[in-house]
Amino acid sequence: MTVALAPLRLPEPANEPDRGSWGPDLLARLVSPALPRPTIDHGLAGGLRAWLDDGIAGVGRAGTPERPVVGRAGTPERPVVVRDGTLVRSATLARPSALGLRELRACLTRMVFRLTLVQGALRHPLEFEDALCAISVTEHGPELLDAVGRLHPRERASLGAFTRARASVISAQWRPVPAAWLPRTGERLRAPLGGGAVVVHATADLVLGRPSEGAASVCLVRLHDEHRGPLGTARAQHARRALALAETLRSGAPPWRVATYDPGARHLDCDEVTEELLADAVRDVLEALERG
């Protein structure tokens, strides 16, 4: 098939949305131009990668008699995965039998968030049914539906109520993203390091902006609805740093902003991506490997 090409010139994401129509919602806050977008340091991504590679080369070294080997790195055949600053055993979805109420809540909240961003608020009071309908056509849909089907009726009712409550909050705080901002939902980020011995994983529930052409241009958001208190705050911080690092390594350009959204607390935490934040993200990865 040969096509007649019209040069693609995508519009830049708007610097500032129309506040009159957007109101005080979180999308407006996410892209508000509080600071000018920084110019890309072209050597930064390479420097971070070199720092990580050096650190990974030292992992697995001889330690003390009490701890003979310090840390754990994998091999290109069986890489170690670091997700949100934590070492994980496997990057694959948990087995269906291991999907409990907590995991199902997270899946449904994530689906409600994505649907709200692309189609608008879900139909009330059918938010639970609509989310399940959308989940049914995803990669792991059959396993997830099976897990929901095996719930006790009381648990299933609780899950439905939870989903409706989350949908209510999300639809009050988010709206469909303008197409010109190039919204992507459910984006996976992978950064293989140390010759493939380690892979940094992150998932962005929302990505905005076109790839950098010299200035930071991308915003990434991660839904973080799992923990509260100091532990939750720290984990959310790790998640934001992991997003920033993975995006910098894969694209060569640091993103503009990274955020975590907690619909339970109705709160968006947003960080400007700086060299200091990225350095902390590198330390997160190396410390996770050192801990093993």
For position 233 contacting other proteins by CB under 8 A, the verdict is no
Q: Write out 43-73 in H/E/C secondary structure.
A: CHHHHHHHHHHHHHHHCCCECCCCCCECCCC
- The burial of 158, by beta-carbon neighbours within 10 Å (0-12 exposed, 13-18 middle, 19 or more buried), is given as middle
Strand blocks (E) in 177-218: 184-193, 198-208
Contact between 38 and other proteins by CB under 8 A: the answer reads no
Nearer to other proteins, 213 or 276 (CB): 213
2 binds other proteins per the rule CB under 8 A: yes
242-251: b (≥16 Cβ within 10 Å) or e: bbbbbbbbeb
Q: Does 212 bind other proteins (CB under 8 A)?
A: yes
Q: What is the C-alpha separation between 149 and 146, in angstroms, rounded?
A: 5
90 binds other proteins (CB under 8 A): no
Interaction between residue 114 and other proteins (CB under 8 A):
yes
Q: Based on the shown chain and the rule CB under 8 A, indicate whether residue 80 belongs to the binding site for other proteins.
A: no
Q: Using the rule CB under 8 A, give the single segment among 81-89, 223-231, 237-245, 250-258 that binds other proteins.
A: 250-258
For other proteins, the binding residues in 155-174 under the rule CB under 8 A are none
Note whether 243 and 218 are within 8 A (CB): no
CA gap 59, 68 in Å, rounded: 12
Alpha carbons within 13 angstroms on the beta-carbon side of residue 61 total 8
Residue of 46, 58, 63, 125 interacting with other proteins (CB under 8 A)? 46
Piece in contact with other proteins (CB under 8 A), picked from 7-15, 159-167, 223-231, 234-242: 7-15
Which residue, 116 or 237, is less far from other proteins as judged by CB?
116
Nearer Cβ to other proteins (88/231): 88
CA–CA gap between residue 56 and residue 194 (Å, rounded): 6
Contact residues toward other proteins (CB under 8 A) are 1-8, 10-11, 40, 42, 45-46, 76-77, 111, 114-115, 117-119, 122, 130-131, 133-139, 141, 179-180, 182-192, 196, 199, 207, 210-214, 249-253
